[in-house]
């Protein structure tokens, strides 16, 4: 299975994105495309490029459950202690879950919840 392609929402720390990139993940942060994109635009880019959305924004959890075309969402629901901590939690998810597509993955401090979205 190839590594998932990720679209990082603007709320993802730059250092966390760099750690993911250093771990050989294809991560494009929204701010590199165009700062201030609407949620709809972020979803459209994720759909057109087949990228999993990585975000702290609960709205994308709702998008995942209502938009059948969205590739998948990793929703971080933990206090952002540090960019390194966030990156390590995301890397743990990426190492644990074989296929992120068609899933809403909710990452909490001690648990990971997986909801199939289609």
The reported pTM is 0.95
Classify residue 79 by burial, with Cβ atoms within 10 Å: 0-12, 13-18, 19+: exposed
What pLDDT, in 10s, does the model give residues 103-118?
Answer: 999 999 889 999 999 7
The domain that contains 13 carries what CATH number?
A: 3.40.50
Q: Identify the band that residue 1 occupies on the pLDDT scale cut at 50, 70 and 90.
A: low
Range of the domain at 96: 5-116
User: What is the tally of structural domains in the chain?
Assistant: 1
């Amino acid at each position: 299975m190839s590594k998932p392609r990720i679209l990082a929402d603007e709320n993802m720390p730059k250092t966390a994105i760099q750690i993911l990139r250093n771990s050989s993940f294809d991560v494009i942060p929204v701010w590199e495309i165009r700062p201030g994109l609407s949620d709809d635009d972020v979803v459209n880019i994720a759909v057109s490029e087949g990228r999993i959305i990585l975000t702290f924004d609960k709205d994308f959890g709702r998008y995942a459950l209502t938009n059948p075309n969205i590739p998948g969402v990793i929703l971080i629901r933990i206090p952002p202690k540090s960019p390194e901590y966030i990156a390590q939690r995301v890397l743990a998810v990426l190492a644990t879950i074989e296929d992120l597509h068609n899933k809403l993955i909710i990452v909490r401090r001690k648990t990971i919840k997986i909801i199939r979205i289609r």
